[in-house]
Amino acid sequence: MNSVDPTTGEIIATYTETTAEEVARHLETAGRLQKEWARTPLGVRREHMLRLADILENRREELADLMAREMGKPVTQGRAEADKCAWVCRYYADEAEAILADEHIEAGRTKSYVAYRPLGVILAVMPWNFPLWQVMRFAAPALMAGNGGVLKHASNVTGCALAIDEMIVDAGFPDGLFRTLVISSSRVAGVIESHEIVAATLTGSDLAGRAVAAKAGTELKKTVLELGGSDGYLILEDADLDLAVRACTTGRLLNGGQSCIAAKRFIVHEAVVEEFTGRLVEAMESYQMGNPLDEDTEIGPMARVDLRDELHDQVRRSVDAGATLVTGGVVPDGPGAFYPPTVLTNVTRSMPVYHEETFGPVASVITVANEEDAIAVANDSVFGLGGAVFTRDLARGERIARDEIEAGSCFVNAFVASDPRLPFGGIKTSGYGRELSHVGMREFLNAKTVVVN
């Protein structure tokens, strides 16, 4: 398996695929160690998790450089990703005792309660866009809960996957309790079949999610899926446009727009659409595109050339269907998977950028006449991951966010972001189950009823 620098197109590393015999051995080791780990005192697990947080912070420069070279993330954002991973480690180190505590319930018996117990070894199938964060937001709660894990990471970020393995061992966790399998997607089904695997979690496309869910279903193994998104951001007639433009631009261009919860469809009231669009274009054009290793770069290349070309095809087909290309939309000359910040207006539901997920720096502006239409457009999607509402009337914004938007998360006057303290996940074809917070930790626990008479 090759790791290709998306800035230059050069191969930067080649990795040998894990053999079937090695996979079997890793799974057996993880299963054996997990049984011992489940009996390890919570205080000991906490010490290792806090050490892992320190290691992530100490290696942040190295990790940021690795992410820049493997998938094009600007180093400034890579450092922030490493720090966020340290945050989730510390969160679960500090909160696990309360989350895992027995829940006593009065049921007319001498004693009755729910005991939250680990399940076993969990398979994690993870994407390339946040190569550290996606893994650590699963690994931190899983390991603190007493579970083990095996990771099938995206092949273009194998270096990041192996770095995670190394850091977990360096933090003092048993060597083999968590292990990366360098395998192709076609071999995931075989791993799910293993009796050592009790459940699976996947972050990725709805196509990949369907495949994993189907296979896990035949094996009667639980899954948690965080899939695609086409988040609608409602900019109402009373929105603070300065705030809205800042949040929408950041929400669209963070990580080069390569995020399931990136702002993608801007649903704008007709009274402010002209002013909002003008400011949005100016803000998008101000972003510095370049080598992700440069400190001034705000948007690097996309992760792969084929992904860049797919995005450009979505833009081209939408323009052919009547969308107006206001800025961007031209593939730059030269090497690398670069694509400029792009804004399309006059977007209607007949266009790819209305219905399909645009996984890159493309903003689609959809004009609506009123609040009712804005809500209808936001919900006119197969996806249901996130959304946002911009209005000066906080009660109005909260009502729309809470009761009207069909999504796993909806923010008022801010772009959607994950936080270790809050549940994260989607509905509809954006998946099911939750990660993060106490809700996410309990997804892979046995809520065991214990009654003493």
Q: How far, rounded to the nearest angstrom, does the alpha carbon of residue 416 sit from its chain's CA centroid?
A: 12
The answer to whether the CB of 252 falls within 8 A of the CB of 217 is no
Distance CA 125, CA 215 (A): 13
Distance CA 177, CA 27 (A): 9
**Taking Cα atoms as reference points, which of 201, 141, 215 lies closest to residue 433?**
201
**Taking Cα atoms as reference points, which of 148, 150, 88, 156 lies closest to residue 127?**
156
Burial class (CB in 10 A: 0-12, 13-18, 19+), 145: buried
| Set 85, 160, 260, 410: catalytic member | 260
Asked about 260 being catalytic, the answer comes back as yes
| Set 70, 81, 226, 443: catalytic member | 226
The C-alpha angle 255, 258, 259, rounded to 5 degrees, equals: 95
CA within 13 Å, CB half, 318: 32
Asked whether the CA dihedral 214, 425, 206, 337 is positive or negative, the reply is: negative
Element (H, E) at 415: none
Query: What residues act catalytically?
Result: 226, 260
